[in-house]
Copies of this chain bind each other. A is one copy, B any other.
C-alpha cells in the first residue's frame, strides 16, 4: 500500500518506527494520518465503521493535519452522509530530533461518529 517517492523526505511529524505500536497492537478505532495518499486513510476509517466501531478517532501531526481534515470530508461525502465531527482536540507535542534538539509540532485528534 505504501509507495514512497524519491522526493519524499522524512518529515518531523512522521513517527519514528520504533515509537509506533506493532500493527496488531494498535488500538482499534484510531487512525493515524501521515504522508500516504488520502484514500488510504479514508478506507481505513470506513473499514473501522463497517467493522462495528461507533466512533473513530483521526489523529495527525503537522502538515498531515490538512490531509486528516480532507479524510473526514471525503468519508462524509462519499460514504456516510450523516458523519459528524463530534470532538476536536489540539495539542502541541515536543519531539526529539536526531541531533539532540527538539521540535514542537501541532497535533490534532478529531472524533467521528455516524
Q: Per-residue CB proximity of A72-94 to B under 8 Å, as 1/0?
A: 11001100000001001011100
Q: How far is the CA of A72 from the CA of B92 in the complex (A)?
A: 10
Is the CB of A66 closer than 8 A to any CB of chain B? Answer: yes
Residue of B nearest to A12 (CB): B1
Interface positions of A from 30 to 87, Cβ below 8 Å from B:
62-66, 69-70, 72-73, 76-77, 85
Q: How far is the CA of A76 from the CA of B92 in the complex (A)?
A: 10
What DSSP secondary structure best describes chain A's contact surface? mixed
Is the CB of A106 closer than 8 A to any CB of chain B? Answer: yes
| Tally of A interface residues using CB under 8 Å | 23
**B105–A1 touching, CB < 8 Å:** yes
Is the CB of A2 closer than 8 A to any CB of chain B? Answer: yes
**B92–A73 touching, CB < 8 Å:** yes
**B1–A106 touching, CB < 8 Å:** yes
**B69–A108 touching, CB < 8 Å:** yes
Is the CB of A104 closer than 8 A to any CB of chain B? Answer: yes
**A69–B85 touching, CB < 8 Å:** no
